Chain A
Amino acid sequence: MDNSLRVCQPTPEDLAWLGTAPIPAAPYYDPDYFALEQEAVFRRTWVHIGHISELPELGSYIVRPYEACDLSVLITRNSQGELQAFHNVCPHRGTQLVTELSGKRTRFTCPYHGWTFSNQGHLISAPDFDNFFLDDKDNCGLTGISIDECGGLIFINLDQSPKQDLRSFLGPFAGVLDNLAPAQASEFDEYEYEIAANWKVNYDNFQENYHLRFIHNRTGAAILSKENPFGYASDYSFWGPHRSQSLQKPTQPFTPEPVQGLAFAKAQALDTLPGGKADCKIFPNLFVVGLTNYVFTHTITPLSHNRSRGVFRVYRIGEAQSASQRFAREYTTASLRDVHVEDRAIIERGQRGLQGRSLTHINFQLHEALCRHLFNEVDSRVQAFKQQLAEEKIHD
């Protein structure tokens, strides 16, 4: 596949390939549609789950819920330094193996009957194994999950033989991620929220600027202008299932308040990052946004058809070396968080409106092209999966 982005101007001609018809509303609230998404998307796509700094040493491990599919993942760094991922489940009778969220260990013992596994997933010992009707321990290891890393970000894929490796899946975005702060970061700030909203309703909020002037009139006023009253992006880009928009520069002369000005100046002086600005909306549920002073990721994980969790991580390079740098980082994370506080309430209200099945369709305008693209990408996978199910039924 050609590795260049399809760059579109925000004109009806340039974006016609995405379609213009209203979008069915059911995929945004229907439990049956969500069940199909779990299979067609979340069980067979690379999904971001962690950062390399969470597994700093040989023998480090982390346990993370993968709530999109209601399962728990054990990620280890083995003695060769490679990352491995497993279903956090003892293959004897399915007991959850590890409950600690992180640590350093090379062996894991199931508390139920004492089966013990290496951090490479092999069954090392099982008490009274001769009484099992099993040939040998080699076939009794932990169930593996595909894992890879790009730019410091760890991804898993529940498909044991993924159709594409991670870099092929990410296409041109792989090179972008290689050059952003998470590739070098040893720590991050983090905040999260749970929300009564379908994951796509939630995600869509963060891929259109149409709402900025209404919801962020205090925190986001700087990018609105007479010429561009909605602060729209000047272009939208696509590659495979991923997408991107140009980031808007402040257009108005901006006089910061005293503490704000001090924090901005310190961030400018002490935390200006290499790599430049970047906007990556990675299918299905990750945002990676590279700004001048920090990079943030935002992962939206479905919890059910009408609930999701968002996790924000804010990355810079290295630990804060001085009081001023620490101050600037506290400020940039807290002010980013403030923007997201404003978003959450309106997103829930969106879901409440959809939930009662009042609408058969919703509408996306030209500058909501990225929302339309996400729907198209999800729905094509869901429809293909339904087709596959139907064909399997015929053959049975």
Chain B
Amino acid sequence: MTDQTGLLPPGFEALEPFVEGWVLTSSSERTAKRVQSDDDERRAFYEVGKNLAEEALAFLDQKSMSDFDDKEKRLMELMLSLVHASLAVEVQKSSELLHRQASIHLQYIETSDV
């Protein structure tokens, strides 16, 4: 197992276990992760993420996105993945299984990203 400490800015250590699965660089990858993840994995990320989201965005807002270092970039991408995980947990809830079967038909076309 790799040592994952220090992958995120100080104060966001609780999110370190999710770096490996949820740091993704495009909306289509984040959607794919939402579709592939099981309920427990999604919920575990969501539960930690929702409590830190406001703080993480306030922290990241202090800098221009183009100046992010690797740790800040990872935190940003975790927040963007949280968007997709939260739509499953907060909105679709128990219908997510049904929803994701239909979801694969709508493909993001990537134009820009962080």
Residues of A within 8 A of B (CB): 187-195, 218-219, 257-260, 262-263, 266, 319-324, 326-327, 330-331, 333-335, 337-338, 340-342, 344-345
In the bound complex, do residue B57 and residue A191 qualify as a contact, i.e. CB atoms below 8 Å apart?
A: no
CB distance from B98 to the nearest CB of A (A): 9
- How far, in whole Å, are A331 and B46 apart by their CA atoms in the complex? 14
Which residues of A lie under 8 Å from residue B107 when comparing CB positions? 191-193
Closest 8 CB pairs of A and B: A323-B60, A259-B86, A257-B90, A190-B109, A258-B50, A330-B83, A193-B106, A331-B83
In the bound complex, do residue A344 and residue B54 qualify as a contact, i.e. CB atoms below 8 Å apart?
A: no
- How far, in whole Å, are A152 and B56 apart by their CA atoms in the complex? 35
- How far, in whole Å, are A7 and B53 apart by their CA atoms in the complex? 45
Secondary structure type dominating chain B contacts: helix
8 pairs, CB–CB < 8 Å, chain A vs chain B? A191-B107, A257-B86, A322-B60, A323-B57, A323-B79, A326-B76, A327-B53, A341-B102
CB distance from A80 to the nearest CB of B (A): 27
Knowing A188-B111, A262-B53 are in contact, say whether A338-B82 is a contact too (CB < 8 A): no
B99 on the A face (CB < 8 A): yes
- How far, in whole Å, are A195 and B107 apart by their CA atoms in the complex? 12
CB distance from B71 to the nearest CB of A (A): 13
In the bound complex, do residue A334 and residue B91 qualify as a contact, i.e. CB atoms below 8 Å apart?
A: no
Residues of B within 8 A of A (CB): 27, 30-31, 46, 49-50, 53-54, 56-58, 60-61, 64-65, 76, 79-80, 82-84, 86-87, 90-93, 95, 99, 102-103, 105-109, 111-112, 114
In the bound complex, do residue A259 and residue B61 qualify as a contact, i.e. CB atoms below 8 Å apart?
A: no
In the bound complex, do residue B86 and residue A260 qualify as a contact, i.e. CB atoms below 8 Å apart?
A: yes
In the bound complex, do residue B90 and residue A259 qualify as a contact, i.e. CB atoms below 8 Å apart?
A: yes
- How far, in whole Å, are A327 and B111 apart by their CA atoms in the complex? 16
Knowing A320-B65, A323-B60, A342-B99 are in contact, say whether A258-B90 is a contact too (CB < 8 A): yes
